[in-house]
Structure 1
Amino acid sequence: MSRMEIIQESPLTDELISVYSIIGYFLVTCKELGMDKLHGEHLAAQAASQIMKISTKQAEAAYYNASELSKKKGWGVGELIKWNKAKSRMNSPVAEAVLKKIAEGERLNNHVISEIQAFGYLSLAALELNFLSGQLTPLEMEFNYQLRTLDQNEAFAIGLRFLGIESNKN
């Protein structure tokens, strides 16, 4: 079955998943899209920060209004200039202090969110980091594909490693 068939047959759902797994899925999604490693890490860290401060209802609304959110960004030279500035800021690793703050966030411990909410957080993070509006659709498609094909325990371990947390799961 092709990637497109898997994505079309399995839209994002309300299935609940650990936030640590979601972070792992974000990282693998960025890697599979060929994003610069640091850009993907910044996007995952920003999404985790969004999870800590924005309600799940707001994230779900962001998912359902993704086309409206990307229209607000605008098109053209201004968007490209903002993206180039954002890229230059993401050319260094995510600060250890930021990762530590995320890892210690109580909202992440034993917290679960739906696939739809997870993509809402990812969209909000991408917009916050000035990703181009045209990048949202490939992000959503690849995220959905990874949810269907990457083992959740593997995603969980990737998320924990990224945040510097030792996995208690074997």
Structure 2
Amino acid sequence: MLVVGMLYYQPVNAEASPSATQTLEAEVEPTVAIAAEWAGGGNNSTIILSDLAADNMERSWSGGSGGEQVHSYSNVAIDLYVRAAGDLTNGSNTISLDLLKYADYGASVSKTSFTTEYVRVLLGWDPPSQGGRVTVPVDLFLTVPFATPPGVYTTTIYHAAVQENAEQPTSP
């Protein structure tokens, strides 16, 4: 039996090398990523417009580092859209959504009332340098009608981005 086992034994010899080479491939997918910021409050911070008089006069807040701004961290060109959830509300009291407006977006977007449907405000917004971000200011305007009851009125502002020339967003 021992002789048979030795006949089938085949030693394996491997030569060592001082180096080894392999190709590595890492495929980076298109990424669409944005954030909105209010007055240095951090990404997706609450927009706080305070000390407003019910005087039927339009107030404005310039966009940028001291106001509203949108950042893109995308690695492809994007189209940026904006909308609001609806009227500003405080219980059963409301301020009509058409009295809340936006402008600029770094592209001289004209002053426009928010709507509940997405509206494109930037087309083909180029991506930032690798590891960075690009930012656009958003000017805001609000008129509080005469005799509006006091209180905190709220709505939600949505910014949505899609890869350039893709279908318009439908949610959130």
TM-score bin (small chain): under 0.3
Q: Which has the higher contact order (CA 8 A, sep 6+)?
A: 1
- Greater fraction of residues in helix: 1
Task: Report the TM-score when normalising by structure 2.
Answer: 0.23
- Greater fraction of residues in strand: 2
Find the structure with the greater CA-based Rg. 2
